[in-house]
Amino acid sequence: MFEVPPFHIHRPTVSPCPVVASIPHSGLVIPAEIKGALNTQFQRFLPHQDWHLDKLYTGLPELGITVLEAVYSRYIVDLNRAAKAPFIGGFWQAAVPKQTAYSQPLYRVLPSNQNVQDRISQVYQPYHRQLEHLLQQTIDKFGYAYLLDLHSFSGPISDQVCLGNANGKTCSEMLISAVESSFSLNGYQVVRNRVFNGGYITRHYGCMAGIESLQIELRYHNYLNLEQLEQKRVPDWNVPEFYHAKQRIQELFGHLVKSLKEP
């Protein structure tokens, strides 16, 4: 069923820096067998995915950042949830959601226990093993690693960017201030730990020795077409808003990497 590899790795094209970026929610692949079990309206469109972040951040390896990017949809298995019982449940709690982000039932026929376990073993666990490996490689090289978990959102807040570090528990003030400054200097309005204060990836890896982790949430409206966001279809990335945001993102991450290298 899971014939497509569960992730892509984009390694630095210049001298590496101690930053690893994780993009766990931009994947859109849903195997045909699973899509056929969904309620009809969700076979064409599923809401609240991190649309096109994989394309928005393609320039990060040019700055020395290692990028790990998910391939499968978060509706297959959510990489930013703990893989623990109950494995299937609410969108905001379980590794395998049985509802949409708006509490609408996803399935005509719920996945079997075996199907759920296959998603964990073939998609979830390989992603996390690879992320842990990349972080350890970074620690081996630099003595430490910065993990940036990249997401996007539409609500429930209207701020442009939200940074989450579990209210100060997963990274130093130095790191969150550097990221905040880089966004602010590029014209973005930034808040800390407002609703989005760090999901499983941020909290899990942020507890490990040598790792500081930070979740970065970018509002859809910063890089996608507003009119398309009101429609029940995947918004286009090939729009002026996207290219403008992509240039700004590259500039601010360039500033961030430079600031992190300074003593």
Q: What angle do CA 7, 12, 16 make, to 5 degrees?
A: 125
Question: What 8-state DSSP symbol labels residue 111?
Answer: P
Give the pLDDT confidence score for residue 1 in this predicted structure. 86
Question: What 8-state DSSP symbol labels residue 121?
Answer: I
For residues 135-145, one letter each, b for 16 or more C-beta atoms within 10 angstroms of the residue's C-beta and e for the rest, the string is beebbeeeeeb
Using the structure block, give the residue that is written with the tokens 């609500």.
Answer: 155
Give the pLDDT confidence score for residue 261 in this predicted structure. 81
For residues 75-88, one letter each, b for 16 or more C-beta atoms within 10 angstroms of the residue's C-beta and e for the rest, the string is bbbbbbbebeeebb
CA–CA dist 24, 85 (Å, integer):
21
Dihedral sign from CA coordinates of 229, 232, 234, 237: negative
pLDDT 10s digit of each residue in the chain, 263 long?
899 999 999 999 999 999 999 999 999 999 999 999 999 999 999 999 999 999 999 999 999 999 999 999 999 999 999 999 999 999 999 999 999 999 999 999 999 999 999 999 999 999 999 999 999 999 999 999 999 999 999 989 999 999 999 999 999 999 999 999 999 999 999 999 999 999 999 999 999 999 999 999 999 999 999 999 989 999 999 999 999 999 999 999 999 999 998 75
Tell me the Ramachandran region of residue 184: left when phi exceeds 0, alpha when psi lies from -120 to 50, beta otherwise: alpha
Cα–Cα nearest to 206, from 181, 176, 180: 176
Q: Which CATH class is domain 7-261?
A: alpha beta
Give the pLDDT confidence score for residue 155 in this predicted structure. 87
Give the pLDDT confidence score for residue 263 in this predicted structure. 57
Task: Kindly list the distances between the CA atom of residue 223 and the CA atoms of 26, 141, 158, 226, 239, in Å, as whole numbers in the listed order.
Answer: 14, 34, 14, 9, 9
